[in-house]
Amino acid sequence: MATYDLAIRGGEVATGFGTARCDIGVREGRIVALAERITDAATEIDASGLLVLPGGIDSHCHIEEPARGSYGGPAVAEPPVTVQEESFTSASIAAFAGGTTSVVCFVPQWRGEGLLPRLADYRQRAARGMLDYSFHQIITEPTDAVLEHDIPAVVAAGIRSLKVFLTYEPLHLNDAQYIKVLTAARRHGCLVTVHCENYDAIGWRTEALLKAGLTAPKYHAWARPTVVEREATHRAIALAELIDQPIQIFHVSCGEAAEEIARAQARGLKVWGETCPQYFTLTDADMDRPGFAGAGFICSPAPRGPEEHANIWAAIKRGTLDIVSSDHCGFSLYTETGKAQNGRDACFRDIPNGIPGLAARLPLLFSEGVSKGRITLDEFVRLTATNPARLMGLAPRKGMIAVGADADLALWDPAKKVTITNALMQHAIDYTPYEGIEVTGWPVATIRRGEVVMRDGKVQAEPGTGRFLPRGPYDMVRPRGVLPYGFDAAPPL
């Protein structure tokens, strides 16, 4: 009987803290040996000439998410119930095709409901996929019942992050509601993740734009300039500091918001920042394409001018932004349930927000970052796997190549040139905003818990083989114990 179930031999293994040419031995889905030479394995994979990276962790993606209404769509008295067209099965295929093995996605809360009905439904949906997965719990209505009963039940189920929106209808919280969520998170040992844009300012700008007849997709960016992101980022951090609650600022799009995070970090606050490939590859000009095509680039925060790309790279290099996620939120461009659900002549306000990016995330960051010399290979590994695993409480099981970790690996050809097409993305969406971009560096095989789930673009995992990743208490999201005047208005239970 072989000592190992699988050996990956001859690759350049990247740990995020240096590289080494060595073999990896896998048994029962976990890494059990790193050695100069491993031969006694039932199956061998020759990784000569390839990089061996930890499987990517995408800690911000929306998959098969049931909703009343849609992100950024019109406010109506009784919004329709929809389900995002990217199922957990199709999302798994796209993720494996792009070198990602685990995701953290979002359990919705519908206003007028508690948390538990949606959680039960969403767990059933996620169990049909092939990715390993955990959840953020969205809070849209922090009633006493939600705060005192539902959040403790969600935490007991292994969920340790709460998501809040400071904009969007019907998701946004006002300051008083946000404070309630921060307080509950502190009491129960959760991270709070925040979408930072000023709801009222965007509504005011939008009303003025529509009154002026400026309705095309490109005016989405005009409705939410960088100042509304900067202001909300500052406010989100200030209120979290008041309560001594760790937070992560999602999808930072501009240097101004990154500067707010950097100032907080310099004061010692537990504030982390994340960005996405759209904020260093796409621009606001993409929304100014002919006809309805510009709708395919509408997301929030909006893609900025090209000058912001350098600001985002600088913030990544400084470590202010230490995670790159996809914020995958796919709506097909021309379907009645997608971007065109309110017609192809809909004004920008009524076009659902979000773009697909599960498969494109790692190749775009590798090509724009590592291949072009903006970041090192170690930094790439930390941005895409190690840091999200640590911040989400998934380490040391996920996000690293080390004895005892799950054997989640991506075999990467750093010299392979690929032109991105929608077919290569293998998602359920009818377009990719990255169509035609040439990248250098591409995953040629993806391994999840010791099983090859993608080889040369062909996904071969079975539905229902993904595993839920419960998260217990962890040090990164413990409060600092620093409070104004030393008064604790939200003592842990």
Q: What is the pLDDT of residue 337?
A: 87
Q: What is the pLDDT of residue 489?
A: 85
Q: For the residues 197-205, what does the mean pLDDT come to?
A: 98
Q: How many CB atoms lie within 10 A of CB 198?
A: 21
Q: Is 418 helix (H, G, I), strand (E, B) or coil?
A: strand
Q: What is the pLDDT of residue 170?
A: 86
Question: Is the pLDDT at 203 greater than 90, yes or no?
Answer: yes
CA geometry: angle 102, 150, 488, nearest 5 deg? 95
Q: For the residues 155-175, what does the mean pLDDT come to?
A: 96
Q: Where are the beta strands (DSSP E) in 69-190?
A: 81-83, 100-107, 132-138, 161-165
Q: What is the pLDDT of residue 80?
A: 64
Q: For the residues 14-21, what does the mean pLDDT come to?
A: 94
Q: Could you give phi then psi for residue 50, rounded to 5 degrees?
A: -115, 155
What is the number of residues in the chain? 493
Q: Copy the structure tokens of residue 387.
A: 């840091």
**What are the residue boundaries of the structural domains of the chain, listed by start?**
56-371
Question: Is the pLDDT at 76 greater than 60, yes or no?
Answer: no
Question: Is the pLDDT at 412 greater than 70, yes or no?
Answer: yes
Q: What is the pLDDT of residue 79?
A: 61
- State how far the Cα of 271 lies from the Cα of 261, in Å rounded to an integer: 7
Q: Around 194, how many Cα atoms within 13 Å sit in the side-chain half-sphere?
A: 36
Which range is least confidently modeled, 28-42, 194-208, 305-319, 330-344? 330-344
Q: What's the pLDDT band for 70 if we cut at 50, 70, 90? A: low
Question: Is the pLDDT at 429 greater than 90, yes or no?
Answer: yes
- State how far the Cα of 41 lies from the Cα of 27, in Å rounded to an integer: 9
- State how far the Cα of 314 lies from the Cα of 321, in Å rounded to an integer: 9
Question: Is the pLDDT at 428 greater than 90, yes or no?
Answer: yes
Give pLDDT tens digits for 242-277. 999 999 999 999 999 999 999 999 999 999 999 999
Contact 27, 42 (CB under 8 A): no
Give pLDDT tens digits for 279-328. 999 999 999 999 999 999 999 999 999 999 999 999 999 999 999 999 99
Distance of CA 193 to the CA centre of its chain: 11
- State how far the Cα of 79 lies from the Cα of 58, in Å rounded to an integer: 29
- State how far the Cα of 451 lies from the Cα of 474, in Å rounded to an integer: 28
Q: Is 440 helix (H, G, I), strand (E, B) or coil?
A: strand
- State how far the Cα of 20 lies from the Cα of 78, in Å rounded to an integer: 57
Question: Is the pLDDT at 434 greater than 90, yes or no?
Answer: yes
Q: What is the pLDDT of residue 67?
A: 79
Q: For the residues 219-227, what does the mean pLDDT come to?
A: 98
Contact 203, 259 (CB under 8 A): no
Determine how β-strand 271-275 pairs with β-strand 247-249.
Answer: parallel
* Residue with token string 């095309």: 216
Give pLDDT tens digits for 111-155. 999 999 999 999 999 999 999 999 999 999 999 999 999 999 999
Q: What is the pLDDT of residue 77?
A: 55
Q: What's the pLDDT band for 84 if we cut at 50, 70, 90? A: confident
CATH no., domain 56-371: 3.20.20.140
- DSSP string for 269-328: --EEEEE-THHHH--GGGGG-TTTGGGGG--SSPP--THHHHHHHHHHHHTSEEEE---B
Q: What is the pLDDT of residue 321?
A: 98
Question: Is the pLDDT at 403 greater than 90, yes or no?
Answer: yes
Contacts of 321 (CB under 8 A, 6+ apart): 252, 258, 261, 273, 274, 275, 312, 315
Determine how β-strand 66-68 pairs with β-strand 56-58.
Answer: unpaired
Q: How many CB atoms lie within 10 A of CB 182?
A: 27
Contacts of 211 (CB under 8 A, 6+ apart): none
Give pLDDT tens digits for 453-490. 999 999 999 999 999 999 999 999 999 999 999 999 88
Q: For the residues 329-333, what does the mean pLDDT come to?
A: 95
Q: Copy the structure tokens of residue 345.
A: 């002549």
User: What are the beta bridge partners of residue 135?
Assistant: 105
Q: What is the pLDDT of residue 336?
A: 85
- State how far the Cα of 321 lies from the Cα of 165, in Å rounded to an integer: 19
Q: Copy the structure tokens of residue 96.
A: 């494996």
Q: How many CB atoms lie within 10 A of CB 481?
A: 8
Residues of the chain with pLDDT > 70: what percent? 97
Question: Is the pLDDT at 71 greater than 70, yes or no?
Answer: no
pTM tops 0.85, yes or no: yes
Determine how β-strand 458-459 pairs with β-strand 41-46.
Answer: unpaired
